[in-house]
């Protein structure tokens, strides 16, 4: 199998993580890049970037995730749709399996459990909720095929970036241009913060002086 994750070398992944989701979302210019904000980190400070590997689960059934563990390219981020059904699709056992398989992180429109273990292992997980309820292993709607994650298109090789601010999925064809615009935006903001530290105001720097009170 071709390792789709090698599309993004370590420098690209690190740049994406450093720029962060808020900057890259603004730089993308694509409204659907942003994943539903209800899908958030389960432990503060988690961050991840990598090629998407999409997996679709039936509600309350995580068989597709187990199948994906034998197919997912190293360095990928598993992006799992469970149609918003919150159950314990993922826990400590799958985290250990993911680490062994070289999976970089998990984004799931569903639920997870074993939060203390996920936190102590430092495995990045972004989920709609937390639930003690277990899951069945009876069906696997799709593994490695494109789908919509709560309105955000996801395909193998898209760039997933996730941090405390949220989750974004950048289409593979837009990654280079988005990173370039994101870097330019970050550089401009750094200059603005230097100016603020030296006494300028946001009204000055954003051209809003007409709103300054006399």
119-171 pLDDT, tens digit each? 999 999 999 999 999 999 999 999 999 999 999 999 999 999 999 999 999 99
Residue 14: predicted pLDDT: 97
Query: Would strands 77-81 and 48-56 be described as parallel, antiparallel, or unpaired?
Result: parallel
Rounded to 5 degrees, φ, ψ at 79 are: -115, 110
* CATH code of domain 4-184: 3.50.30.40
Residues in the chain: 214
Binding-site members for Mg(2+) are 114
CB-based contact 70:211 (threshold 8 Å): no
pLDDT in tens, 40-96: 999 999 999 999 999 999 999 999 999 999 999 999 999 999 999 999 999 999 999
Is the model's pLDDT at 1 over the cut of 70? no
Helix (H, G, I), strand (E, B) or coil at 24: helix
Is the model's pLDDT at 30 over the cut of 70? yes
Q: Domain map of the chain by residue range?
A: 4-184
Helix (H, G, I), strand (E, B) or coil at 77: strand
pTM for this predicted structure = 0.94
Binding-site members for substrate are 91-94, 113
Binding-site members are 91-94, 113-114
């Amino acid at each position: 199998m071709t390792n789709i994750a090698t599309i993004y070398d370590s420098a690209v992944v690190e740049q994406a993580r450093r720029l962060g989701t808020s900057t890259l979302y603004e730089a993308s210019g694509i409204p659907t890049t942003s994943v539903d904000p209800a899908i958030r980190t389960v432990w503060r400070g988690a961050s991840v970037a990598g090629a998407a590997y999409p997996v679709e689960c039936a509600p309350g059934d995580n068989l597709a995730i187990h199948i994906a563990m034998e197919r997912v390219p190293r360095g990928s981020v598993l992006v799992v749709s469970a149609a918003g059904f919150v159950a314990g699709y993922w826990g400590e056992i799958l985290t250990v399996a993911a680490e062994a398989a070289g999976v970089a992180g998990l984004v799931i429109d569903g639920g997870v459990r074993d939060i203390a273990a996920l936190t102590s292992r430092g495995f990045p997980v972004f989920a709609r909720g937390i639930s003690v309820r277990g899951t069945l292993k009876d069906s696997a709607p799709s593994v490695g095929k494109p789908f919509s994650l709560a309105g955000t298109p996801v395909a193998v090789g898209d760039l997933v970036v996730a941090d405390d601010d949220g989750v974004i999925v950048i289409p593979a064809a837009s990654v280079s241009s988005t990173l370039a615009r994101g870097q330019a935006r970050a550089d401009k903001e750094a200059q603005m913060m230097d100016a603020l530290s030296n006494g300028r105001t946001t009204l000055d720097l954003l051209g809003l002086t007409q709103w300054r009170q006399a």
